[in-house]
Amino acid sequence: MEQKTPGKTTPAQGTTREERLKAALKANMARRKAQARARAAKGADAAPAAGDAPGRDPGKT
């Protein structure tokens, strides 16, 4: 004989998946936005000179 717990129903599978995806997307967008803000702040603090290229030795041509 099967026993079911009263009052405990499971939501539709699609709804749960959609909610999970929505939450994951929201968290991802917040993380990317924070990274962009950090990069912008870092770039404004230590902007390289116009002729400087990363990874190049200024003494060599």
| pLDDT tens-digit map of 36-61 | 999 999 887 765 555 555 666 666 66
Q: Residue 35 belongs to what domain range?
A: 14-42
The reply to whether 29 falls in a domain is yes
d(CA 33, CA 27): 10
Which residues neighbour 54 within 8 Å (Cβ) at sequence distance 6 or greater? 48
Q: What SS3 state is found at 45? A: helix
Cβ neighbour number for residue 23 with a 10 Å cutoff: 10
Q: Name the domain count of the chain.
A: 1
The reply to whether 27 falls in a domain is yes
Q: How confident is the model at residue 8 (pLDDT cuts 50, 70, 90)?
A: low
Q: Which pLDDT score, from 0 to 100, does residue 1 have?
A: 53
Q: Which pLDDT score, from 0 to 100, does residue 43 have?
A: 82
Q: Does pTM top 0.85 for this prediction?
A: no
Q: Which pLDDT score, from 0 to 100, does residue 30 have?
A: 98
